[in-house]
Structure 1
């Protein structure tokens, strides 16, 4: 049998690799070998390990949508803790996933001051963000970990999935921001940023949110 270190594997941007029959111990060893400071994202569910290498535009959209969520929370005076692309894993459930962005909102007080997450005692994020194609492996991991709300930005449009009886269903609104047309807002301003640029887009987004709040 040939043994290859994961640092030797080169995954082109926009591509992914699926590995089958990966044990939990092997998953943990791969996480340790790859380390925390890396560009790729991992998802693990029931023995299947997915390794993805995001495209540059994926990273741009991820940061922009994350910044828009922070603006929303700030303007609505909702407290949060942002955990970015933290690895969320649960050995007893045999799942692990690394969101593009994630937030503790309802559970922000529980996570205040924490620098590590242990899902045997800590709650999962209240909101997770995924850009581009979200695979079956990722969706299974989010469902098993019981992440309440998952936003998926795919094909230039936002989709909102909310957990209902342990499974995700599509929703036209966000329970976190029930009074705002989140799908239309995020979709519109991400598209606008391509020509307008990040900073002007965020300023325009803040102005729109303030207008909607006043009305």
Structure 2
């Protein structure tokens, strides 16, 4: 006997995830439509396997702070950008889809100004994606297939930067977007500062650090 459940019958608590198998692309699209844009959950689709995650507050605080740090850095360096948050990026021909914690168009920002819908068959993938791994791991295969050139992963107080080279991710000590700054070394410290001193003091201290570093 086959049992059919509606999405509204499923409860996913913070820190938990649900994995559904044998999900067709049409079903994936229908689930995206039913869940809508205003939700806390994150979806990853990879060759018929759909994972629905519900992040913890710890996860959300870290990803928001990292996003704010990047925005402050881009502003300080006078670099144009377009933030796309946790937008859904998908390719039917690859059977892949993902919703990053945060993402930015930087090198390709001009092409994305005013965009309301993303079509990766004609639009570029985000130049920089950020993932915070607390209760689950980032699915690199999906990011690799979609061609995201730079991926930041923050886990257990450590920042890792991966660069897409010849179709594979390679760990890098520096960000090609910000090559003159030791972000792997200093960003985790400001994330930790926010957890003890507060977000505003941490962002203020970061802006001061950037100013001093640029003056050197």
TM-score range, shorter chain: over 0.9
The match for 2:19 is 18
The match for 2:36 is 35
Deviations 1:116-159 (A, max 9, x none): 111111000000000115536x2111110000000000111111
Q: CA deviation at 1:57?
A: 1.2
Q: CA deviation at 1:172?
A: 0.8
Q: CA deviation at 1:15?
A: 1.3
Q: CA deviation at 1:184?
A: 1.3
Q: Distance in 2 between matches of 1:82 and 1:120?
A: 20
Count matched residues. 214
Q: CA deviation at 1:110?
A: 0.6
Q: Distance in 2 between matches of 1:70 and 1:49?
A: 31
SS at match of 2:160: strand
The match for 1:62 is 63
The match for 2:95 is 94
Q: Does 1:52 align with 2:53?
A: yes
The match for 2:126 is 125
Q: CA deviation at 1:200?
A: 0.8
Q: Distance in 2 between matches of 1:132 and 1:191?
A: 15
Q: Distance in 2 between matches of 1:70 and 1:64?
A: 10
Q: Which runs of 5+ in 1 are unaligned?
A: none
Q: Which runs of 5+ in 2 are unaligned?
A: none
The match for 2:76 is 75
Q: Is the 8 A contact 1:62 1:100 kept in 2?
A: yes
Q: Does 1:135 align with 2:137?
A: yes
Q: CA deviation at 1:85?
A: 0.5
Moved >4 Å (runs of 4+):
none
Q: Distance in 2 between matches of 1:12 and 1:4?
A: 18
Q: Distance in 2 between matches of 1:61 and 1:53?
A: 15
Q: Is the 8 A contact 1:7 1:33 kept in 2?
A: no
The match for 1:195 is 196
Q: Is the 8 A contact 1:7 1:34 kept in 2?
A: no
Q: CA deviation at 1:70?
A: 0.3
Q: What TM-score, normalized to structure 1?
A: 0.97
The match for 2:85 is 84
